[in-house]
Amino acid sequence: MSETLQVEDLVFTIKRSGRRKTVGISVERDGSLVVSLPEQVNLDEVVPLIRKKLVWVYQKLQAQNADEKRSIFRKPEFIDGEGFYLLGQHYRLKIIDSTESNKPSPSVWISGDRLLLRRDQLSKAEERIEQFYTRRAHPYLNDAVEKWVKLIGVSPTGYVNVTDLGYRWGSCSANGRLNFHWRVMQLPPALIEYVVVHELAHLKKPDHSPEFWSLLGRAMPDYASRKDLLKKLGGRL
């Protein structure tokens, strides 16, 4: 039986070599994950190295599986009347012309129940929408983390990192850095809290062992219902 190692929800196949002097991580074309390491390296030493590369691993997996991404996250068409969400609230997209006054205006903003997108930004609409959510994510998520750190009993490193995590809502690095997908801002606040608390709990328990779920349950007794709703709702956003 081949040697394997699980880190979070990922399983890595271990390949040892007497000639190898460093640890290497690779994502194969079939999506399998391989850790190549020297013959005598202890697996306990490898886990922190893998965790430092988890964001890269998730992004590589997602890049290889565009079809899976489409099944998880809706691909916007950027047409008038299309629905978008911010903090669980529904907004209809309206494409507008640039203001006649020539005053600077954002590429994307909210007015009433409309999400407005400048027509001259349509060719970059996907990038502009991502920037719109990312700008709002940083202060919101940092406040959410600050609210829960004492209850979980952990100390994250610095401010949160907001990026495209592929099909992951969030992750945490071995150095204590928290990473969140910009799409998390589309979720209702209760589900954003679940994602935040889930990742904070991983700073104490890096796997999904019974101890991890017990820790999560003590901090957030209704986590199971939030988790189920996230699974049902996520693909519609």
Q: Is the pTM of this model over 0.95?
A: no
| 59 assigned to some structural domain | no
- pLDDT tens, residue by residue, 115-160: 999 999 999 999 999 999 999 999 999 999 999 999 999 999 889 9
| 63 assigned to some structural domain | no
Domain containing residue 209: 129-236
Q: Give pLDDT, residue 62.
A: 72
DSSP-assigned states of every residue in 107-161: SEEEETTEEEEEGGGGGGHHHHHHHHHHHHHHHHHHHHHHHHHHHHT----SS-E
- pLDDT tens, residue by residue, 107-118: 999 999 999 999
On whether both 177 and 203 belong to a single domain, the answer is yes
Q: Residue 210 in contact with residue 171, Cβ under 8 Å? A: no
Query: Given pLDDT bands bounded at 50, 70 and 90, which one contains residue 30?
Result: low
On whether both 137 and 226 belong to a single domain, the answer is yes
Give the residue from 127, 146, 164 where a domain finishes.
127
On whether both 9 and 41 belong to a single domain, the answer is yes
Q: Residue 134 in contact with residue 182, Cβ under 8 Å? A: yes
On whether both 141 and 209 belong to a single domain, the answer is yes
| 136 assigned to some structural domain | yes
Cβ neighbors of 140 (< 8 A, separation 6 or more) are 87, 185, 192
| 206 assigned to some structural domain | yes
| 182 assigned to some structural domain | yes
Number of domains in the chain: 3
